[in-house]
């Protein structure tokens, strides 16, 4: 079974509008972390936002926020006021703090976001 | 430059040759992770190293692949007798000591694109 599922291979959004990228995860660890990365066409991996499983509040970083629904095991990324520079691949990832190897990340297959002018 | 440095950015090898990929972690980071990204896929964990010590190599293919992180110098991912299926982007990430509560910097390098011809 996949540990990280991103069901949207591609998404389009109009510039200046908000967009939600879906991510669901599967783990039996009581403690874990969830990450979102952006990969532009140049190829580098850019860290966007982090949510710990015990964090009470949803994480926010500028225009990025994470809609964390623990019971549903979902960690959707919300980008507000989309910009043309947001066009990229977006990856959701999880770190299991007890099971498996401590420290490594498990990635989803990604969502390609295209922002239309 | 305080970032994770990977070189070369692009590497072309003929089938049967050896490929050596280098990764210098961020200053102060003692942990290195290698990931592989096949086309249209997310990153897959390969190996996790500390200085002079392999912590977890559960994601490494059993044959032809090896990794090291010597006391001095960069971490090296070595692929012997490359085959076309090894063509991929190889990313290195570094972090300080593992802390379950931290979103500690999984800082990624820009990757090495390996093409086997």
* pLDDT tens profile A27-69: 988 888 999 999 999 988 999 999 999 888 999 999 999 999 9
Q: Given a cut of 60, is residue B100 above it in pLDDT?
A: no
Q: Which whole number is the average pLDDT over A86-113?
A: 86
- Mind telling me how many Å the CA of A19 is from chain B's nearest CA? 21
Q: How confident is the model at residue A5, as a pLDDT?
A: 96
Among residues A47, A110, A90, A48, which one has the least CA distance to residue B95? A47
| Yes or no, beta carbons of A109 and B107 under 8 Å apart | no
The model's pLDDT over B34-91, given as tens digits with 9 standing for 90+, comes to 999 998 888 999 999 998 999 889 999 999 999 999 999 999 999 999 999 999 999 9
- Chain A residues closer than 8 Å to B106 by CB: 35, 47, 105
Strands (E), chain A: 4-5, 10-14, 19-21, 24-25, 32-39, 46-52, 60-61, 64-69, 74-79, 88-96, 106-107, 111-116
Q: How confident is the model at residue B1, as a pLDDT?
A: 47
Residues 6+ away with beta carbon under 8 Å from B29: B4, B94, B95, B96, B105, B107
Q: How confident is the model at residue A99, as a pLDDT?
A: 62
Average pLDDT score, chain A = 92
- Chain B residues closer than 8 Å to A44 by CB: 108-111
**Which one of A35, A37, A105 has the shortest CB-CB distance to B45?**
A105
Residue A70: which pLDDT band, with cuts at 50, 70 and 90? Answer: very high
| Yes or no, beta carbons of A109 and B41 under 8 Å apart | yes
- Mind telling me how many Å the CA of B21 is from chain A's nearest CA? 16
């Amino acid at each position: 079974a996949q540990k990280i599922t991103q069901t949207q291979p591609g998404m389009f959004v109009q510039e200046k509008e908000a967009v939600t990228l879906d991510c669901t995860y599967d783990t039996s660890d009581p403690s874990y972390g969830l990450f979102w990365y952006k990969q532009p066409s140049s190829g580098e991996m850019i860290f966007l936002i982090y949510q710990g499983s015990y964090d009470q509040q949803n994480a926010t970083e500028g225009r990025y926020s994470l809609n964390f629904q623990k019971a549903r095991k979902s960690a959707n990324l919300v980008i507000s006021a989309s910009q043309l520079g947001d066009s990229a691949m977006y990856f959701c990832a999880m770190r299991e703090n007890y099971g498996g190897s401590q420290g490594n990340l498990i990635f989803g297959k990604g969502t390609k976001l295209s922002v239309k002018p | 430059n305080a970032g994770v440095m990977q070189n070369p950015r692009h590497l072309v090898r003929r089938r049967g040759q050896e490929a050596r990929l280098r990764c210098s972690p961020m200053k102060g980071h003692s942990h290195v992770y290698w990931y592989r990204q096949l086309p249209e896929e997310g990153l897959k964990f390969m190996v996790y190293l500390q200085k002079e010590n392999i912590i977890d190599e559960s994601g490494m293919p059993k044959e032809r692949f090896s990794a090291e992180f010597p006391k001095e110098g960069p971490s090296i991912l070595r692929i012997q007798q490359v085959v076309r299926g090894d063509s991929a982007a190889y990313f290195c990430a570094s972090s300080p000591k593992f802390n379950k509560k931290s979103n500690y910097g999984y800082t990624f390098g820009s990757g090495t694109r390996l093409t086997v011809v």
